[in-house]
Every structure is written in structure tokens, then in C-alpha cells.
Amino acid sequence: MKRILITNDDGFESPGLHALVEALRPLGHVTVVAPTLEKSACGHSLTLTRPLRFVEIDDDFFKLDDGTPTDCVYLSKYALFDERRPPDLVVSGINKGANMGEDITYSGTAAGAMEAVLQGIPGVAISQVCRNRCQNIDELGFELAKEAAYTICKKILEDGFPLGERKFLNINIPPVPPKECNGYKITKAGYRLYGNDAHMHRNPRGEEYYWLGLHPLEWIPDERMLCDFEAIKADCISITPVQLDLTSHGDIEKLEGWL
């Protein structure tokens, strides 16, 4: 039986996590290790300054108190699996909200898949896009995301992972029901537009504090319609191959000349 490790960055109680577990259980033995608290935008971070503890919630379902998605994958491989037989697949999600463009670098969801491929395990990150800030993810549901997760993970487990070392699949699901989806599209990561959405407030003692808000889902248009943002706009499921090598290889010779 295939062994699947599931994690996320929305915490162990997230409806998206439980939807993913339900979708993938028919494919193999599922183990869940998720953060105790929401870790959105934690990036690919490890916890090095305090101890971590597995807390068993149910059979093969643990929360990591108080870890990141990276911690969950890193520790699970060594603490919960036989060294000779690691998981066959790590799936991170289903995230509440998009992880497209440069947001991949912020994303704890993507980080779970990043850590998987660093450990030599195929990794997939899945995120459910919301149409706007007002759209309730619980009303939208996860049916399309569940269908996509099952289909793609089944193909990986049966036919093999389609990417090389230190590469993972970043999947974003459009905010539509399954019957309105226009299929799958292989995409590149787009260029997101960023602003500053920091809000200053004062506590009862007059001391300043800040809340960081969410940016509108805006991007630089892709004329060839090949990026993840454009795929979601067209109500397609976006599948982006992501590599961990961040080197700008095309600039090495130019930089040598400049120096």
C-alpha cells in the first residue's frame, strides 16, 4: 500500500486539510502531521529555538506543537516512518487562498512540498483560490480541489512523479464548482503586483501596533496567457512546476563581466 503524508499551513483543524484527507484516503495509507496553529506566510522555515512535540489527535493524525509545515515534513520522515521506507508522496494543503506568483516564496503550503523534495520525496502543494476577500471558502467548498487532488496524486502514485530532483508541483484551484471548471493548464509562476497593506492601531495604553493585511489578487498581464493567474482567471486548474534552484543562470556570465 502506498504511504501518503499530508500537512498544511492552516492548522490541524482546517476544513481544507480534512477535505484533502478524505480525497486521498482511497489511494493509500494516509498520515497527517499539521501545525497546531495557523502558519500562513511562514515560508520554508524550521523551528530551531524551542523543542517540538507530536500530539496524537487520532490514529495516524498528529498536530506538531508548535511547528511549521517544514517542521512537520522534516520530523515526520524520521520520527514516524521507517528510514528504509519513507512516504511515497507528500501533499500540502488544501490551502485557504491562492499561492501563485511570488507568493510561493511566502507560502507555508508550498514549503511543505519544498521540504518533501529536499528529503527525496515527491511533493505537491494544493491551494483553493477565492474570488475575492468577501468570498467564504466554506460556502465555496473543496469539491473541485478534492477531485483535482485525487486525480493528480493517483497519476503520480501509478505513473511516477513527472519532475526531477528538488522540484515540486504547485497547484491552484479556481473558485468555481467542478461543472464550471475548464480543465487543467500547465503554467509558469506569474508576476504578482504588491503594495503595502499595513494598518497602524493603538492599544489602550497608546502604544502603536500594526496588522499586515492581504493584497488584492492583481498581477502583470501575461500576453501569452501562460501564467498561473491567467489560468485561474480562465477557470482552469493551474499546475506549475517549481524548482528550488533560485540561481539566475542566465546572468552568471553577465555578472562575471560586470565584476
Mean pLDDT by 10 residues, the chain (259 residues): 97 97 98 96 96 96 96 97 94 96 97 98 97 73 97 98 98 96 97 88 94 84 89 97 97 96
Distance CA 127, CA 48 (A): 27
Considering Cα of 37, then 40, then 41, then 45, what sign does the dihedral take?
A: positive
Give the torsion through C-alpha atoms of 88, 17, 218, 135, to 10 deg: 150
CA distance 94 to 19: 7
DSSP element (H, E) containing 186: strand 184-186
Report pLDDT for 257. Answer: 96
pLDDT of residue 223: 78
228 and 187 Cβ atoms separated by less than 8 Å: yes
Residue 83 buriedness (CB in 10 A; 0-12 / 13-18 / 19+): exposed
Give the pLDDT score at 178.
96
